[in-house]
Amino acid sequence: MFRQIARFHALASSKHFNITSEIKHAIANKQPVVALESTIISHGMPYPQNVQTAQAVQDIVRSEGAIPATIAILEGRVHIGLEDEVLEQLGKMGQEAQKTSRRDLALVLAKKGSGATTVASTMILARAAGIPVFVTGGIGGVHRGADQSFDISADLTELGKTPVAVICAGVKSILDIEKTLEVLETQGVSVTTIGESQRFPAFYTPDSGFDSPSRIDNASEAADIIYSNHMLELDSGMVFAVPIPKEQAADTQAIQQAIVTAITEARSNGISGKDETPFLLKRISELTKGESLAANIALVKNNAKIGAKIAVELSKRVL
């Protein structure tokens, strides 16, 4: 008998979780639900575009027939599904909110704190709640210069051990994409580009210059792969990379230039660790006069559309 993954684990039924009744009902009835992270709201984009984008993403998920489940930690409780006021609050807090990855989860909960969840921690909490599909903008990866700094995102190791499918626009070229793909292979994470191109996308732009380990045409094939992963009880995550549509992609040269400048600034200002990704995103947006932000918003919406379709397809297969 296949493991039933679209179900609450004991943890999610505890007092530490606050799951909206709509989401609870959907999971219990094996209806499609899409998990969404909150660091992208607090640290990934400026206010008010962050809140507007989060809301638009939720609407897109609904229009495709799935239920959005945005995840964050509020006053020591895990919230799955956020009220509009809470989303607004989180968006306004911006970088004041605590960026909460795997290592931070226990601390934030124990101190009854609040925090925005990263890809890694959103995967952990989505899994506990029985949500197998998660949409975001981009995942963390191996930072450039990691041979010296050892800065490799906890997203990658989480993908190696938590069975949630992450739909993203690839990995930003502020990171070392080639090494990121290598680490994902080491972690046993299946990486698949959805669409015509064999290339793994680079977030703001559709082609990173590196081939994706595999390629499929549509959401239905993605659901087949997720289903097989669960059937085999591999317990590892999956990356589905959706290239940003060409019309919405940023100008490659302008982005490259901005990335080089932003990385140089980060180094000379001693910015590293968990502060590096938010700093780079903000500076690249400033340096490209909002062009990167526009691309970021467009790609998240595009991912939401495909991710919701995947959740709908997956719900047709018995989980």
SS3 label, residue 252: helix
User: Residue 26 or residue 41: which is nearer to ligand PSU going by CB?
Assistant: 41
The answer to whether residue 64 forms part of the interface with Mn ion (CB under 5 A) is no
Contacts of residue 233, Cβ cutoff 8 Å, sequence gap at least 6: 3
Residue 260 · residue 253 · CB < 8 Å: no
The answer to whether residue 37 forms part of the interface with ligand PSU (CB under 6 A) is yes
Nearest to 133 by CA among 36, 212, 4, 12: 36
The answer to whether residue 282 forms part of the interface with ligand PSU (CB under 6 A) is no
Nearest to 306 by CA among 5, 66, 29, 51: 66
Binding mask 247-276 for ligand PSU (x = CB under 6 A): ---------------------------x--
The answer to whether residue 277 forms part of the interface with ligand PSU (CB under 6 A) is yes
Q: Which of 32, 94, 132, 138 binds ligand PSU (CB under 6 A)?
A: 138
SS3 label, residue 247: helix
Q: Which of 137, 163, 206, 307 binds ligand PSU (CB under 6 A)?
A: 137
Per DSSP, the residues of 136-194 read: -S----BBTTHHHH--B-HHHHHHHHS--EEEESB--TTB-HHHHHHHHHHTT-EEEEE
Q: Which stretch binds ligand PSU (CB under 6 A): 23-31, 38-46, 56-64, 302-310?
A: 38-46
User: Residue 203 or residue 227: which is nearer to ligand PSU going by CB?
Assistant: 203
Helices (DSSP H) in 64-136: which residue ranges?
84-93, 102-110, 119-129
The answer to whether residue 291 forms part of the interface with ligand PSU (CB under 6 A) is no
Burial of 34 (0-12, 13-18, 19+ CB in 10 A): buried
Binding mask 93-122 for ligand PSU (x = CB under 6 A): --------x----------------xx---
Q: Which two tokens stand for residue 248?
A: 């919405």
Residues facing residue 135 across a β-bridge: 36, 167
User: Residue 100 or residue 190: which is nearer to ligand PSU going by CB?
Assistant: 100
The answer to whether residue 164 forms part of the interface with ligand PSU (CB under 6 A) is no
Q: Which of 151, 176, 291, 313 binds Mn ion (CB under 5 A)?
A: 151
274 is catalytic: no
Residue 190 partner contact from ligand PSU, Mn ion, none using kind-dependent CB cut-offs of 5 to 8 Å = none
Nearest to 23 by CA among 69, 55, 87: 69
178 is catalytic: no
Residue from 172, 179, 274, 309 carrying the catalytic annotation: 172
What distance in Å separates the CA atoms of residue 285 and residue 294, rounded to the nearest whole number? 9
Residue 204 partner contact from ligand PSU, Mn ion, none using kind-dependent CB cut-offs of 5 to 8 Å = none
Q: What letter would DSSP give residue 211? A: B
The answer to whether residue 24 forms part of the interface with ligand PSU (CB under 6 A) is no
Comparing every residue's Cβ against Mn ion, the nearest one is 151
SS3 label, residue 278: helix
Q: Which of 74, 93, 154, 234 binds ligand PSU (CB under 6 A)?
A: 154
The site for ligand PSU (CB under 6 A) is made up of: 37, 39-40, 43-44, 101, 118-119, 137-138, 140, 153-155, 172, 203, 274, 277, 281
* Catalytic residue ranges: 37, 172
The site for Mn ion (CB under 5 A) is made up of: 151
